Homo-oligomer: A and B are copies of this chain.
Amino acid sequence: MKKTCGSILFITAAVFLLAIQASAQQSLAEKLGYAADAKLLIIHADDIGLAQSVNDASSSAFASGGITSGSIMVPCPWFIDFAEHYKSHPHLDVGIHITLTSEWDYYKFGGVLPSTEIPSLLDENGYFYPTTQEVGQHADPVEAEKEIIAQIERAIAYGIKPTHLDTHMGSVLAKPELVEIYMKLGKEYGIPVFAPRMMLMGMPAEEREMIKEDYVLVDRIFMLNDIGPDASWEEEYGKMIEKISPGLNVMIVHLAYDNAEMQALAINHPAFGATWREKDLKYVQSQNFHDLLKENEIQLVTWKEIGALN
């Protein structure tokens, strides 16, 4: 059993917190027009804007129904390219993938704000730190808040209407002060905020209770993790799909084509690398995946639909 779960980041009892009032009477599924015990699933592509390869793959997966939702990394080189694509596809369910880390070896990015305004977020070369742990160690919450707002505002300035907030590599969950900013901004912008239950951990019991009352908890996150590109995607995703249960589930995927750009970008990263990401793309676009979702009576939903309940 441990082996089965080891290759999947299967956060049981993980939660999404949604900026909508919880109702004791109606489940989220019912509010969306489904049976109370419906299995809801968002198929979510991370990292849009990171590379041309990622944009191209994500656009293709949106067009074919392989994903329902995605989120964009505003400080990255290919952000504007996707914003331009969005202009002619404004129905797409796109959120802000709040970015405070720069994890690739030879392809780096810093913030949207001038480096002098956010020194605590940047390394000596002006790029974000590579790990979430370093964000936790160094980030000044005031600077982080300014940078996060600048990322949201830049997306809006380029025409994107974000449907939700989420966080690249979980960096916004690096410490309680950042979690508070993140949730507050979700409320201020009136859009759902994505975060696992661990963000509640650092909070006083009272505050935790208030959040549980104030937000809709979402139930399970699924994501391939800790597997190399040689693993069987059919098998790994097959195991995940069996675990999708009533409530709100989110499957996070990482899409790209296995081309020269992505290979060079992800050098030394077999996990989440070029081959790996093209396997994710092919899987979400496969008939087999969609047949399995149907057989398991899984209902696809979007962040936009959920946000509209507010």
Which residues of A line the B interface, CB within 8 A? 51-53, 55-56, 77-78, 80-81, 83-84, 105-109, 112, 114-117, 125-126, 154, 157, 257, 259-261, 264-265
Contact = CB atoms under 8 A, between A and B. Distances in A.
Nearest to A84: B106
**Interface residues of A, dominant DSSP:** helix
A140 to B, nearest CB: 16
Contacts of A81: 106-107, 264
A83 B125 CA distance: 14
Contacts of A125: 154, 157
Contacts of A52: 260-261, 264-265
A29 to B, nearest CB: 39
27 contacts: A51-B261, A52-B261, A52-B264, A52-B265, A53-B260, A53-B261, A77-B107, A77-B109, A78-B107, A78-B264, A80-B106, A80-B108, A81-B106, A81-B107, A81-B264, A83-B106, A84-B105, A112-B126, A114-B114, A114-B117, A114-B126, A116-B116, A116-B117, A125-B154, A125-B157, A260-B261, A261-B261
